[in-house]
Amino acid sequence: SSFDNITQPLSIYAIYYPIVRFFNGYDNTLLDTQIVELGSNAIEPTQPTREGWTFNGWDKSLNNITQPTTINALWLANITFTDGFGETLAIRQVALGGSATAPVVPNNYRPGYTHTGWDTNFTSITGPLTVNATWQPNTYTVRFHSNDGNDLVFASRQVTYQTELGELPIPNRTGYNFLG
């Protein structure tokens, strides 16, 4: 309505629109400010990014805005599980204070080794985390057979995967020379 050339009493009412402010949710950086018609919806700004974190929506509804509103981004911490040699096995997104679920490591993932667990606790998450698999070399029993017809085991030794056997035992068989 125009306020020029007023010729009679007139009541003028102010119209207010709520302001919506979007913050990134971790260092109070303002992402966007919007003026929204009363009862209308705010428009979601471009999703923020944060290294080591996954965006997890907003802390308030963007619908039916009826008053000034501050809306903060929500984040999940990325928990990266590796094989301990640089290969990623899984990435889990976990809320602060929550716990991650470790991936299943197949028995044959690293031949000659047994997966013994993880090098870092991944409960009560406080931020992004890298968790590495831990390994122990397998131990094998090596049996030495005399091959004298009865195939008797004359010696045995426990050997760790990829280690030298060392000096080998020599069988003794009457009337024969051991060739190796």
Q: What is the pLDDT of residues 80-90, one digit of tens each?
A: 999 999 999 99
Please tell me the pTM assigned to this model: 0.76
**Least confident interval from 8-12, 83-87, 123-127:** 8-12
User: What's residue 169's pLDDT?
Assistant: 83
**131 backbone dihedrals φ, ψ, rounded to 5°:** -120, 125
CB 133 within 8 A of CB 106: no
Rounded to an integer, what distance in angstroms lies between the CA atom of residue 15 and that of residue 27? 33
Average pLDDT over residues 87-115: 95
User: What's residue 120's pLDDT?
Assistant: 97
Reply yes or no on whether the pLDDT at 68 is more than 90: yes
CB 45 within 8 A of CB 29: no
**32 backbone dihedrals φ, ψ, rounded to 5°:** -165, 150
Reply yes or no on whether the pLDDT at 66 is more than 90: yes
The confidence band for 174, taking pLDDT boundaries of 50, 70 and 90, is confident
Contacts of 107 (CB under 8 A, 6+ apart): 115
Percent of the chain with pLDDT over 90: 71
